[in-house]
């Protein structure tokens, strides 16, 4: 069974590096406080690790 990540954007991307802003948009965030779900893949994990100071991440089993 594949794992999923529940990712919440906790800090605003305003005033951050341009590539960090792009990662926020690529993960699907449009607002601070928003939560999105993605499968736990190396690509998603790499993006999350790059901007981990802005995120809150929880692992959960996929239904």
CB 56 within 8 A of CB 32: no
Which pLDDT belongs to residue 38?
Answer: 96
Residue 48, phi then psi, degrees to nearest 5 = -65, -40
Q: What's the whole-number mean pLDDT along residues 12-26?
A: 97
Q: What's the whole-number mean pLDDT along residues 9-34?
A: 97
Does CATH number 3.30.1390.20 belong to domain 3-61?
Answer: yes
Which pLDDT belongs to residue 2?
Answer: 83
Residue 8, phi then psi, degrees to nearest 5 = -115, 130
**1 pLDDT tier (thresholds 50, 70, 90):** low
The upper half-sphere exposure of residue 50, i.e. CA atoms within 13 Å in the direction of its Cβ, equals 18
Q: How far is CA 23 from CA 11, 16, 26, 35, in A?
A: 13, 11, 5, 15
Round the average pLDDT of the chain to a whole number and report it.
95
């Amino acid at each position: 069974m594949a794992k999923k990540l529940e990712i919440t954007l906790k800090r605003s991307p305003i005033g951050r590096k341009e590539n960090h802003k792009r990662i926020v948009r690529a993960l699907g965030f449009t607002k601070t406080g928003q939560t999105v779900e993605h499968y736990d893949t190396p690509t998603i994990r790499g993006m999350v690790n790059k901007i981990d100071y802005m995120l809150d991440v929880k692992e959960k089993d996929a239904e």
